[in-house]
């Protein structure tokens, strides 16, 4: 039970007054931005990231954890009350959560979502602590060929998960990889595709991509609809779910946690799949599946727990292998790099305070959510009552401040504007931005690992077949692509949304 | 664009999926442009990859993908082009540009209200007076939260004539 000792050490680091305060502040701000309609965790974290730059590394990461969980919870609040999911994984919450809100049970939906998230988060924290060491030692046998193959598998998985055309998802990944190559070549230092502009010389920040594609582009889309979206003027009702509701939720929460924990570990953002998987499972297990979609509390409890557990275990690939499995984790990498931390297996041994402090702070972030956000839900409801004609102005200025704070570089705002137009165009042509972000996130690392792998193998691609671990991942990637093309499986996956 | 407009006129139009056609054509052009921009950089060999290898082949992949979309648009029935609402993007982009231009030269206390007031007109339901009040309140709120509480490096007000800078 070595890891429990480590975890206890982490808790000691995390509960210092200043760290608790920062976690609190992060949680509040995360919810404040995350609750804005259409703004999911990616955009929220991108906006708030610069605030953590001035802190010491451990404190910064603890505050980020608070922001992350706040953003998640804010997103759920917006989907339950407004039926506007800020990201694809909150879509599932909106199905039954919003229905509950329309029946005047918004309080219970919000309550169970926080309780479920807390339980899931607590369990997932232990999972991370237990798995981190063994997986990190596994990472030591990984060479560049294995890393490249693993990331390829991640991308194939993202294609599999993308909604709509598989072919378009592949194009999106390629565009993401291409965008990631803007800036200096890591080996020779030669500038690529910068068009001679100084402000492109460092490449494109992932935070800009997050705010452009997921923040401002969403504003463009929402402005088309006009003022159709309003909070239902219904009662929030009591926040604590009733005894029966709690009893009905216990098993979905535990099952959701299990599903989420497993899926979150997969590279290529498996966590997105978790809420869908949980919703489908609960519907299959339910005695009266017809209740789903009509305000079944299990349909909120399960997916919300799965979502949170997955969000948390997706830290595992980052902390053990140094591979960010999604855009949120890539933002975390950005934050770590600013503080001179290189994510990977060595963090655990070289900076135990930071590593275990961060893991403990995840648990603390979840606790914060429960303690501060439930009592404050009235405030968030008031915020959601602000008409969109004013709300989007706020979103725009938050993005401006967020971008400017990163590098104090006004040109970054123009890059974000360009990315926003691009994101708007993507939605007009039915392309999905999620695979693009993953391609962007992994692009540079893939290029570096490919280069090293080929250097070692003297230019022979056979290295990816001869090395058993690499060959396994390549095979897995091919299988996933084939599965993604098979129509029967695609139909099954889309079924969740149909009814 | 005459090819695209034949859609509803009874005769089977040559382009059966305008959305895929335009997207594919754009990707082909964009990829060609990127390949052209990379022409000055060495590609290296597989054993020692140069800076242009990955971007060039990725761009070629994108171009091929675009070409496939174009071909498919002649063969497979697909969706029509969606309408673009230009009002929102126009005002929001104008506001972003204004903010970028003014934040360094006059500071946040001028840039923020200017940008927000411009952006507000992106909504068809804009109410100028309400917007003005909101703009002022948000400027104060952001100045307090981001500069005072969170100590972000936002220049607040720069007036060289009066040598004010804080």
Compare all CA atoms of chain A with the CA of B151 and give the residue at the minimum distance.
A51
Write down the pLDDT at residue A396: 94
Judged by a CB distance cut-off of 8 A, whether residue B85 touches chain A is: yes
CA dist A403 and B146 (Å) reads 13
Torsion angle of the four alpha carbons A182, A183, A186, A191, in this order, in degrees rounded to the nearest 10: 110
- Of the two residues B96 and A405, the one the predictor is more confident about is B96
Cα–Cα nearest to B28, from B85, B70, B80: B70
Between A257-271, A306-320, A388-402, B152-166, the lowest mean confidence (pLDDT) is in B152-166
Q: Is the pLDDT of residue A379 over 50?
A: yes
Write down the pLDDT at residue B114: 95
- Of the two residues A197 and B124, the one the predictor is more confident about is B124
> pLDDT tier at B166 (50, 70, 90 boundaries)?
low
Alpha helices by DSSP H, A226-326: 243-265, 273-285, 298-313, 315-316
Q: Is the pLDDT of residue A462 over 50?
A: yes
- Of the two residues A162 and A391, the one the predictor is more confident about is A391
Across the interface, whether the CB atoms of A414 and B100 are under 8 A apart is answered yes
Across the interface, whether the CB atoms of B55 and A192 are under 8 A apart is answered yes
Judged by a CB distance cut-off of 8 A, whether residue A37 touches chain B is: no
- Of the two residues A292 and A488, the one the predictor is more confident about is A292
Q: Is the pLDDT of residue A492 over 70?
A: no
CA dist list (Å): A349 to A130, A148, A322, A331, A355: 15, 24, 14, 23, 9
Q: Where do the structural domains in chain B lie, given as residue ranges?
A: 2-75, 87-165
Cα Dmax for chain A: 68
Alpha carbon of A405: minimum distance to chain B alpha carbons (Å): 6
CA geometry: angle A149, B58, A438, nearest 5 deg: 55
Tell me the torsion sign for CA atoms A419, A421, A425, A430: positive
Residue A400 with chain B: CB contacts under 8 Å: 96, 99, 103, 112, 115
> pLDDT tier at A488 (50, 70, 90 boundaries)?
low
The predicted model gives A367-394 an average pLDDT of 83
Find how far residue B138's CA is from the centre of its chain.
Answer: 25
The predicted model gives A408-429 an average pLDDT of 93
Judged by a CB distance cut-off of 8 A, whether residue A462 touches chain B is: no
Q: Is the pLDDT of residue A296 over 60?
A: yes
The predicted model gives A418-430 an average pLDDT of 92
Across the interface, whether the CB atoms of A405 and B131 are under 8 A apart is answered no
The predicted model gives B51-65 an average pLDDT of 94
Cα–Cα nearest to A278, from A296, A303, A247: A303
Judged by a CB distance cut-off of 8 A, whether residue A211 touches chain B is: no
CA dist A96 and A79 (Å) reads 10
Burial class (CB in 10 A: 0-12, 13-18, 19+), B4: middle
- Of the two residues A145 and A69, the one the predictor is more confident about is A145
pLDDT over 90 percentage in chain A: 20
Across the interface, whether the CB atoms of B119 and A396 are under 8 A apart is answered yes
Between A151-155, A355-359, A394-398, the lowest mean confidence (pLDDT) is in A355-359
Q: Is the pLDDT of residue B57 over 70?
A: yes
Residue A175 with chain B: CB contacts under 8 Å: 62
Alpha carbon of B82: minimum distance to chain A alpha carbons (Å): 6
Judged by a CB distance cut-off of 8 A, whether residue A459 touches chain B is: yes
Give the up-direction half-sphere exposure of residue B68: CA atoms within 13 A in the CB hemisphere. Answer: 10
Residue B55 with chain A: CB contacts under 8 Å: 178, 181, 192-193
Across the interface, whether the CB atoms of A400 and B99 are under 8 A apart is answered yes
Residue A389 with chain B: CB contacts under 8 Å: 120, 123, 125-127, 131
CA dist list (Å): B164 to A230, B106, B160: 44, 10, 6
The predicted model gives A371-389 an average pLDDT of 81
Q: Is the pLDDT of residue A294 over 70?
A: yes
Write down the pLDDT at residue B7: 43
Query: A291-295 contacts: CB < 8 A, separation 24 or more?
Result: A292/A95, A292/A96, A293/A95, A293/A96, A293/A99, A293/A499, A294/A96, A294/A99, A295/A96, A295/A99, A295/A100, A295/A102, A295/A103, A295/A105
Cα–Cα nearest to B122, from A409, A430, A397: A397
Cα–Cα nearest to A128, from A349, A334, A309: A309
Between A64-73, A262-271, A399-408, B44-53, the lowest mean confidence (pLDDT) is in A262-271
Burial class (CB in 10 A: 0-12, 13-18, 19+), A218: buried
Backbone angles phi, psi at A458, to 5 degrees: 55, 50
CA dist A19 and A353 (Å) reads 13
Write down the pLDDT at residue B1: 42
Q: Is the pLDDT of residue A222 over 80?
A: yes
> pLDDT tier at A195 (50, 70, 90 boundaries)?
confident
Residue B131 with chain A: CB contacts under 8 Å: 389-390, 393
Write down the pLDDT at residue A129: 84
CA dist B106 and A66 (Å) reads 34
The predicted model gives A414-421 an average pLDDT of 94
Write down the pLDDT at residue B100: 95
Write down the pLDDT at residue A177: 95
- Of the two residues A94 and B91, the one the predictor is more confident about is B91
Do the beta carbons of residue A252 and residue A305 sit within 8 Å?
A: yes
Across the interface, whether the CB atoms of B51 and A187 are under 8 A apart is answered yes
- Of the two residues B84 and B23, the one the predictor is more confident about is B23
Cα–Cα nearest to B31, from B23, B43, B20: B23
Torsion angle of the four alpha carbons B12, B14, B17, B21, in this order, in degrees rounded to the nearest 10: -170
Q: Can you tell me the ipTM of this complex?
A: 0.89
The predicted model gives B30-50 an average pLDDT of 89
Judged by a CB distance cut-off of 8 A, whether residue A159 touches chain B is: no
- The B residues from 116 to 135 touching A (CB cutoff 8 Å) are 116, 119-120, 122-127, 130-131, 134-135
Alpha carbon of B38: minimum distance to chain A alpha carbons (Å): 7
| Disruptive mutation site among A393, A435, A455 for chain B (greatest number of B CBs within 10 Å) | A393
What is chain A's mean pLDDT, rounded? 85
Write down the pLDDT at residue B129: 95
Alpha carbon of A255: minimum distance to chain B alpha carbons (Å): 40
Write out pLDDT tens, residues A329-350.
Answer: 888 888 888 888 888 888 888 8
Judged by a CB distance cut-off of 8 A, whether residue B114 touches chain A is: no
- The A residues from 370 to 399 touching B (CB cutoff 8 Å) are 387-390, 392-394, 396-398
CA dist list (Å): A396 to A219, A496, B84, B91, B97: 8, 33, 20, 11, 12
Write down the pLDDT at residue A489: 57
Write down the pLDDT at residue B128: 94
> pLDDT tier at B165 (50, 70, 90 boundaries)?
low
> pLDDT tier at A198 (50, 70, 90 boundaries)?
confident
């Amino acid at each position: 039970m070595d890891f429990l000792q480590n975890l206890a050490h982490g808790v000691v680091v995390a509960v210092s007054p200043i760290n608790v305060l920062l976690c609190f502040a992060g949680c509040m701000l995360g919810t404040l931005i995350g609750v804005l309609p259409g703004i999911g965790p990616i955009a929220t974290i991108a906006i708030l990231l610069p605030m953590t730059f001035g802190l010491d590394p451990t404190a910064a990461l603890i505050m980020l954890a608070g922001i992350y969980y706040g953003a998640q919870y804010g997103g759920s609040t917006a989907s339950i009350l407004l039926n506007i999911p800020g990201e694809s994984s909150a879509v599932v919450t909106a199905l039954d959560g919003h229905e509950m809100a329309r029946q005047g049970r918004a309080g219970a939906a919000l309550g169970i979502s926080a309780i479920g998230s807390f339980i899931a988060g607590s369990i997932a924290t232990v999972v991370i602590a237990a798995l981190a060491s063994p997986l990190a030692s596994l990472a030591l046998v990984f060479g560049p060929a294995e890393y490249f193959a693993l990331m390829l598998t991640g991308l194939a998985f993202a294609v599999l998960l993308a909604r709509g055309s598989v072919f378009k998802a592949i194009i999106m990944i390629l565009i993401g990889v291409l965008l990631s190559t803007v800036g200096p070549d890591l080996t020779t230092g030669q500038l690529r595709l910068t068009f001679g502009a100084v402000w492109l010389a460092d490449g494109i920040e992932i935070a800009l991509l997050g705010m452009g594609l997921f923040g401002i582009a969403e504003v463009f889309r929402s402005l088309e609809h006009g003022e159709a979206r309003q909070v239902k003027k219904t009662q929030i009702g009591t926040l604590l779910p009733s005894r029966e509701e709690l009893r009905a939720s216990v098993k979905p929460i535990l099952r959701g946690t299990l599903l989420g924990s497993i899926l979150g570990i997969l590279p290529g953002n498996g966590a997105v799949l978790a809420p869908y998987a949980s919703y489908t499972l609960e519907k299959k297990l339910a005695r009266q599946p017809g209740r789903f979609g009509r305000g079944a509390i299990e349909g909120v409890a399960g997916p919300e727990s799965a979502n949170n557990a997955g969000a948390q275990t997706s830290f595992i690939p980052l902390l053990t292998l140094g591979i960010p499995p999604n855009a949120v984790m890539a933002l975390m990498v950005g934050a770590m790099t600013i503080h001179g931390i290189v994510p990977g297996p060595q963090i655990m041994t070289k900076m135990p305070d930071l590593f275990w402090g961060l893991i403990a702070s995840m648990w603390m972030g979840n606790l914060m959510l429960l303690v501060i956000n439930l009592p404050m839900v009235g405030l968030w409801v008031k915020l959601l009552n602000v008409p969109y004609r004013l709300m989007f102005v706020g979103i725009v200025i938050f993005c401006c401040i967020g971008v400017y704070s990163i590098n104090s570089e006004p040109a970054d705002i123009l890059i974000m504007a360009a990315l926003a137009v691009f994101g708007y165009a993507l939605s007009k042509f039915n392309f999905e931005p999620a695979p693009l972000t993953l391609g962007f996130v992994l692009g540079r690392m893939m290029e570096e690992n490919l280069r090293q792998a080929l250097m070692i193998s003297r230019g022979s691609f056979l290295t990816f077949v001869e090395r058993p671990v690499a060959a396994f991942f390549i095979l897995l990637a091919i299988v996933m692509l084939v599965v993604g093309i098979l129509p029967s499986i695609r139909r099954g996956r889309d079924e969740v949304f149909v009814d | 664009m005459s090819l695209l407009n034949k859609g509803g006129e009874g005769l089977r139009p040559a382009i059966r999926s305008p959305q895929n056609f335009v997207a594919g054509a754009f990707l082909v052009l964009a990829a060609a442009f990127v390949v052209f921009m990379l022409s000055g950089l060495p590609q290296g060999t597989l054993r020692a990859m140069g800076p242009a290898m990955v971007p060039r082949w990725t761009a070629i992949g994108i171009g091929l993908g675009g070409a496939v979309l174009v071909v498919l648009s002649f063969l497979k029935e697909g969706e029509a082009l969606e309408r673009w609402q230009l009002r929102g993007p126009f005002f929001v982009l104008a506001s972003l540009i204004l903010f970028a231009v003014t934040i360094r030269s006059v500071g946040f206390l001028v840039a923020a209200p200017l940008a927000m007031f411009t952006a507000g007109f992106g909504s068809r339901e804009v109410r100028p007076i309400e917007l003005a009040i909101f703009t002022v309140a948000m400027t104060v709120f952001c100045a307090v939260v981001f500069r005072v509480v969170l100590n972000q490096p936002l220049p607040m007000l720069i007036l060289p004539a009066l040598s004010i800078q804080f």
